[in-house]
C-alpha cells in the first residue's frame, strides 16, 4: 500500500496524516502544496467524489483575507482558485489508488489497511 498526501507542512492535520502512516510503516508520497500546487486534474478527482465545496476550507484565514465569503464562483473557477491558493484547501487530501479522503480521517485510513 502506498498513499499520496497533499498538504502543507505547517498544517496540523497534514502532520497528523503523515504521522499516522509513518507509524504503520506505510510508504507515503508527500506533496507540499506551497512548493508544488495541486494540478486541476488532481483537484477534479477529489471534486468528482466529494464536490467542490467539500474542498474549500471556509474557516481558513486565507479565505477571509481574499474576501471569498460572498463569492459566487462556478465549480471550474473554484478549482482554478484552489489550485492557485493552496491555503484555501481543506487539508490533507489523501489518496491511495482510487480511494480518496479529505481531511484527517483515521477510521477510513484504517479500513484501507484492512482491504488490500
pLDDT per residue over 68-93, tens digit each? Answer: 988 899 999 999 999 999 999 999 99
Helix or strand or coil: residue 102? strand
Q: Residue ranges of the domains in the chain?
A: 2-114
Q: CATH homologous superfamily for 2-114?
A: Glutaredoxin (3.40.30.10)
Where the chain has pLDDT below 70, the residues are 115-116
* Residues ≥6 apart with Cβ < 8 Å to 24: 113
Number of H helices, E strands in the chain: 6, 4
Q: What gap in Å lies between CA 95 and CA 106, rounded to an integer?
A: 13
Amino acid at each position: 500500500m502506498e498513499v499520496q498526501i497533499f498538504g502543507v507542512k505547517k498544517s496540523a492535520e497534514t502532520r497528523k496524516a503523515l504521522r499516522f502512516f509513518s507509524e504503520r510503516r506505510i510508504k507515503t508520497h508527500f506533496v507540499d502544496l506551497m512548493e508544488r500546487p495541486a494540478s486541476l486534474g488532481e483537484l477534479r478527482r477529489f471534486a468528482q467524489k466529494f464536490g467542490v465545496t467539500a474542498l474549500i476550507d471556509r474557516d481558513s484565514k486565507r479565505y477571509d483575507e481574499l474576501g471569498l465569503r460572498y463569492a459566487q464562483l462556478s465549480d471550474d473557477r473554484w478549482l482554478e482558485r484552489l489550485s492557485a491558493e493552496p491555503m484555501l484547501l481543506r487539508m490533507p487530501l489523501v489518496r491511495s489508488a482510487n480511494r480518496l479522503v479529505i481531511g484527517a480521517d483515521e477510521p477510513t485510513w484504517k479500513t484501507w489497511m484492512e482491504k488490500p
